[in-house]
Amino acid sequence: MVSRRHFVRTLPFAAMALPSLAQRPARFDVAVIGGSTGGVAGALAALRAGARVLLSEETDWVGGQLTSQLVPPDEHPWIESTGCTRLYREYRQAVRDYYRQHFPLTAEARALSQLNPGNGSVSRITHEPRVSLAVLEAMLLPYLSSGQLTLALRHQPVAATATANRLQSVRLRHLDSGNTVDVDALYFLDATEQGDLLPLAQVDYVTGAESRRDTNEPTAPETAAPANLQACTVCFVLGYRDGEDHTIDKPAQYAFWRDYVPQLKPAWPGKLLSLSYSNPVTLEPRELTFDPTRDSVPGKGLNLWVYRRIRDRRYFLDAAASSDLCLVNWPQNDYWLANLHEVSPAEFQKHLDAAKQLSLSLVYWLQTEAPRPDGGQGWKGLQLRPDASGTADGMAKYPYIRESRRIRAEFTVTEEHVGANARAAITGKAGDDLHAAPFADSVGVGSYRIDLHPSTGGDNYIDISSLPFQIPLGALIPRRMDNLLAACKNLGVTHLTNGCYRLHPVEWNIGESAGYLAAWCLQKQHTPRAVRNQSPLLEDFQRELTRQGVQLNWPRYTAR
């Protein structure tokens, strides 16, 4: 567990990071490019194994989904007892401890062993992103203080030097000063949100939807669609103060988004800015409700206010917590009008601005036009909370990216490995006898539905039942590069299976196992490919993962 003393923060990491990079040699054992959820986990693993590590990040908050993108953990139902790494469990416990140590909780809340600060319905631990940031910074701080870790915030990879099978250096550019530095490392982890190292290093990769011929997946399309990616989302946080008016200025693109009807197949039930959407599983119209004054509305559907609520005011004693806080990552602010991977920086910014306009338009619509259960319209007391997002405009520092470029890996996980119906068709098994394909080279576990949001190619939701699965080592290893590992959503999965490998505990596990692998290969003088392909090496590495608390199998079956 993270020690209490580690929560003492004397300087924001943003103030510490740039001087530390400039004043130290830019050569490391392991360079983790991207401070995503997987990137932080990968850095921590490599540091715990004794490596000298660089961790770079575009924003000034490490943590990715958990922090700069504002998204509280999406997790499987068994997370409190099984199905994640020990380090991820320590992170979750540290979040709860942080609330107990630093927030004026009610006696009832303080007594809850499985405290869920927001009581959001999507997770057992919905909480404020700044708390995740404090916890992750505390976990990194001892290594930063000792000099074992060099942190480069506000740094973006812009170039790379590589041979046919080895990445030699990555050039980072500081987004404020424009200064660049070339980082040399023995191993690199790509933990960027969009797999940014892959094109820079000329690593073979895949984007969008593969064809059925490519993957043999029953749900894959007949024709490949490389530009067809899941929607991204610019998230934000809302509070509510009854009787007050916090209506924002009408967004510049409000007229467009107010009348926008998604052109998807199968069809969306009407306007995007409404309380109707497509049921992800059946694609039939589904009615939602919205009421920031209560948890549920009798006779109505899911109340979006509690869906991703990150602070339940009933758990707090202080006046500052007199409002709930609600994280808005809903169907109504999914943005799918562009593939952000293969666009120029100017086009990326154009679409990022449009995605923000959609989110701001949703705020304005909720304040002025959203139907109320009492028959009225709009909730003027809704308040954007820039203090929670860490930005001036209240929008997340970075969009929630669901789908990355993906390496052409030594092994690719397909629907036939993890999809419930596909596995049943292949094995002829059902019920308790049905499980995901076992992987002899497992480096972790995860579980989530194959959950794909509407896409840039015009697909509506694709939501398929999956089975608790393993993470194969082969999916972290590119076919050619010997010293680059996938540490985020860029591993060897398909457009479909990305939908269940992209969630918080799985991404953490991917990054953590990649970090341990890089450090282990340095110590033992073997390549990741050799570890996977030579049984004695694989068994030794898996024993090390087990020692470090990485769960390799689900309790109900063991890979053979």
Contacts with 218 (C-beta within 8 Å, 6 or more apart), sequence order: 212, 415, 416, 419, 421, 422, 425
Q: Across residues 188-201, what is the average pLDDT? A: 97
Burial group, residue 472, by CB count within 10 angstroms (0-12, 13-18, 19+): buried
Contact 529, 485 (CB under 8 A): no
- Quickly state the pLDDT bin for 556 (edges 50, 70, 90): confident
Contacts with 283 (C-beta within 8 Å, 6 or more apart), sequence order: 266, 460, 461
pLDDT one-digit tens code per residue, 458-478: 999 999 999 999 999 999 999
pLDDT, residue 321, reads 66
Q: How many CA atoms lie within 13 A of 484 on its CB side?
A: 37
pLDDT, residue 15, reads 44
Beta bridge partners of 464: 450
The strand ranges marked E within 231-312 are 232-233, 236-240, 276-278, 285-287, 309-311
Q: Is the pLDDT of residue 327 over 80?
A: yes
User: What are the b/e assignments for 370-408, b being 16+ CB within 10 Å?
Assistant: beeeeeeebbbbbbbbeebbbbeebbbbbbbbbbbbbbe
Q: Is the pLDDT of residue 558 over 80?
A: no
Pairing relationship of beta strands 382-384 and 27-33 according to DSSP bridges: unpaired
pLDDT one-digit tens code per residue, 337-393: 988 887 888 999 999 999 999 999 999 999 999 999 999 999 999 999 999 999 999
pLDDT one-digit tens code per residue, 71-95: 999 999 999 999 999 999 999 999 9
Q: Which tokens hold the place of 319?
A: 């006046």
Residue ranges of domains in the chain: 4-207+403-547, 232-389
pLDDT, residue 21, reads 56
- Quickly state the pLDDT bin for 124 (edges 50, 70, 90): very high
Query: What does each C-alpha distance from 139 to 90, 116, 179, 227, 260 come to in angstroms?
Result: 10, 21, 28, 38, 44
Pairing relationship of beta strands 276-278 and 236-240 according to DSSP bridges: unpaired
The strand ranges marked E within 83-206 are 149-153, 155-162, 167-174, 180-190, 205-206
Q: Is the pLDDT of residue 8 over 50?
A: no
User: What are the b/e assignments for 330-346, b being 16+ CB within 10 Å?
Assistant: bbbbbbbebbbbbeeee
3-state secondary structure 321-346: HCCCEEEECCHHHEECCCCCCCCCHH
Contact 172, 184 (CB under 8 A): no
pLDDT, residue 318, reads 77
Q: Which tokens hold the place of 208?
A: 């969008």
- Quickly state the pLDDT bin for 22 (edges 50, 70, 90): low
Burial group, residue 550, by CB count within 10 angstroms (0-12, 13-18, 19+): buried
Cis peptide before 266 (omega within 30 of 0): yes
- For residue 421, what is the enclosing H or E element? helix 420-427
DSSP states along 134-159: HHHHHHHHHHHHHTSEEEEETEEEEE
Query: What does each C-alpha distance from 457 to 193, 389, 461 come to in angstroms?
Result: 20, 30, 12
pLDDT, residue 343, reads 82
pLDDT one-digit tens code per residue, 412-434: 999 999 999 999 999 999 999 99
Name which of 4-13, 96-105, 240-249 the model is least confident about: 4-13
In angstroms, rounded to a whole number, what is the distance separating the alpha carbons of residues 310 and 313?
10
Q: Is the pLDDT of residue 11 over 90?
A: no
- Quickly state the pLDDT bin for 301 (edges 50, 70, 90): confident
Q: Across residues 167-171, what is the average pLDDT? A: 97
Nearest to 93 by CA among 326, 84, 55: 84
Q: Is the pLDDT of residue 219 over 70?
A: yes
pLDDT, greater one: 338 or 309: 309
- Greatest alpha-carbon pair distance for the chain in Å reads 69
pLDDT, residue 13, reads 57
Q: Across residues 538-546, what is the average pLDDT? A: 98
Q: Is the pLDDT of residue 20 over 60?
A: no
In angstroms, rounded to a whole number, what is the distance separating the alpha carbons of residues 405 and 191?
11
Q: Across residues 395-405, what is the average pLDDT? A: 97
pLDDT, residue 339, reads 86
Indicate the residue type of 281: V
DSSP 438: P
State the average pLDDT for the chain.
93
Q: Is the pLDDT of residue 396 over 80?
A: yes
Provide the percentage of residues in the chain whose pLDDT is more than 90. 90
Q: Across residues 121-126, what is the average pLDDT? A: 94
pLDDT one-digit tens code per residue, 478-500: 999 999 999 999 999 999 999 99
Q: Which tokens hold the place of 557?
A: 């079956």
Q: What does the radius of gyration of the chain's CA atoms come to, in whole angstroms?
A: 23
- Quickly state the pLDDT bin for 299 (edges 50, 70, 90): confident
* Matching CATH number, 4-207+403-547, of 3.30.470.20, 3.40.50.10490, 3.40.50.1220, 3.50.50.60: 3.50.50.60
In angstroms, rounded to a whole number, what is the distance separating the alpha carbons of residues 113 and 124?
11
**Residues recorded for the chain:** 560
Nearest to 173 by CA among 143, 196, 198: 196
Q: Across residues 212-224, what is the average pLDDT? A: 97
Nearest to 305 by CA among 65, 119, 436: 119
Give the predicted TM-score (pTM) of the model.
0.95
pLDDT, residue 234, reads 98
Contact 79, 508 (CB under 8 A): no
Query: What does each C-alpha distance from 63 to 73, 390, 500, 538 come to in angstroms?
Result: 12, 13, 19, 29
pLDDT, residue 197, reads 97
pLDDT, residue 320, reads 58
